[in-house]
Each structure stands twice: as C-alpha cells, then as structure tokens.
Amino acid sequence: MIFKRKFRVRWVDTDIAGVMHFTNYFRYFEACEEEFYRSLGLDLNFLREEHGVLLPRVEASCQYKVACRFNDEIEVALSVKEVESKTVTYEFWILNEEEKAAEGTVKCIATTLDWKVVDLPKEFARALKLARNTTI
C-alpha cells in the first residue's frame, strides 16, 4: 500500500536560496505519516495517553533530487517498509509535478513515556503490517 497526501510548500519553508530548506522535507514526511495514521484509525495521542507509548525516531535520511519551491503542490508518498516487534520503518518520496523531488527513510521505535524501549502495541503493529501487505 502506498499512502499519498498533497501539501503546499509555504513561504516559511523556503530559504535564501529560494527553495525549500532541507529540514522541511522531513516535516512533510512526518505530516504524511500523521495523515497515514489517521487514515488507519490510529492516533498518536491515544498511543501516548492510553498505552503510554511514544514513537521517537531512531533514524532519518533523505536524498534530495530536485528543489521544491514556494507554492509548489507536492505529493508525499509513504510506504511501510518493515514492521518489527519494536520498530516500524517507513519509506517516503516526494513528487513535484510528476518528478521525484526527494526520497527518504524514517525508522521509529516504541518507547514508554520515560524512554524505555517496548513492543509496539498489538493493534498498532497489526494495522501497520496490514498496510505493508496491502496491494494498491
């Protein structure tokens, strides 16, 4: 399953080079991830408040291909790459006018609120695995 969501590049996302600052690609990866959870009926607030579980990142990477600019409508795509007992890894890519502007990977780990590593809550892991295995 590839989850996609469109976003608009904002003035504040740009820098003096006239393009989106490299850190902001990660912000859009994360915005897409948040919409992905919503689409599955998952909720990071529920995870935190009811399960006492956070999903901090242990790895993040991005390769930049083509600059995104103010007012561009970009499409962020998310694919669940791997679900392990305590981690989930996402692949992201950003399409700008059909062209791949950037691609990256983000790996999250489940922890308690005081940062002890734990298993992903069962339903959460199950939903992610289902999303990974679903075609389309």
Give, as one character, the DSSP assignment of residue 11. Answer: G
CA distance 120 to 102: 28
Which tokens belong to 56?
């901090």
Going by C-alpha positions, the residue among 51, 33, 58, 28 that lies closest to residue 124 is 51
> By CB under 8 A, is residue 43 in contact with its own copies?
yes
Going by C-alpha positions, the residue among 22, 25, 37, 13 that lies closest to residue 88 is 37
- The piece of 40-48, 82-90, 93-101, 125-133 that touches its own copies (CB under 8 A) is 40-48
| Residue closer to its own copies (CB basis): 23 or 134 | 23
Going by C-alpha positions, the residue among 83, 82, 94, 80 that lies closest to residue 24 is 94
> By CB under 8 A, is residue 116 in contact with its own copies?
no
Per-residue string for binding with its own copies, 6-35, x by CB under 8 A? --x-xxx-xxxxxx-xxxx-xx--xx--xx
> By CB under 8 A, is residue 39 in contact with its own copies?
no
Per-residue string for binding with its own copies, 54-73, x by CB under 8 A? x-xxxxxxxxx--x-xxx--
What is the β-pairing status of strands 53-54 and 87-96?
Answer: unpaired
* List 44, 51, 82, 118, residue binding its own copies (CB under 8 A): 44
Residues near its own copies (CB under 8 A): 8, 10-12, 14-19, 21-24, 26-27, 30-31, 34-35, 38, 43-45, 48, 54, 56-64, 67, 69-71, 115
